[in-house]
């Protein structure tokens, strides 16, 4: 399914005391990413149960577009900004729709 739309769920947990710094960097990433070619949806949600948990919900025209995003300028700025030190946990799930 190389040309099928791709959905990404990325779950992030901030280290205690790093929530605001990580959140600010994530919100900047959202603003920069939403205008990228192939981006259909790029949202950041905060858990109501744990304020340290934020979840990205993304949809891309294709896996190739998502991979271009992952290698693009906005993601490079995000990754080199030092935010990696703010994560307690991170998981990413690549998904394709199978029903509905």
Q: What is the pLDDT of residues 43-58, one digit of tens each?
A: 999 999 999 999 999 9
Helix axis angle, 73-80 to 19-33, nearest 10°: 170
Residue 63: how many CB atoms within 10 A of its CB? 18
What confidence score (pLDDT) does residue 45 get?
Answer: 98
What confidence score (pLDDT) does residue 2 get?
Answer: 56
User: Are 66 and 86 a contacting pair, CB within 8 Å?
Assistant: no
Q: Which domains, ranges and CATH numbers included, belong to the chain?
A: 6-95 (3.30.70.100)
Check pLDDT > 80 for residue 78. yes
Q: What is the pLDDT of residues 3-27, one digit of tens each?
A: 689 999 999 999 999 999 999 999 9
Distances (CA, A) of 100 to 40, 48, 66: 18, 27, 22
């Amino acid at each position: 399914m190389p040309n099928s739309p791709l959905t990404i769920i990325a779950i992030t947990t901030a280290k205690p005391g790093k929530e605001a710094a990580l959140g600010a960097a994530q919100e900047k990433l959202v603003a920069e990413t939403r205008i990228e070619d192939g981006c259909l949806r790029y949202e950041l949600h905060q858990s109501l149960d744990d304020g340290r948990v934020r979840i990205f919900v993304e949809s891309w025209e294709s896996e190739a577009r998502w991979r271009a995003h992952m290698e693009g300028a906005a993601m490079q700025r995000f990754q080199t900004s030092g935010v990696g030190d703010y994560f307690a946990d991170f998981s990413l799930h690549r998904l394709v729709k199978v029903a509905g």
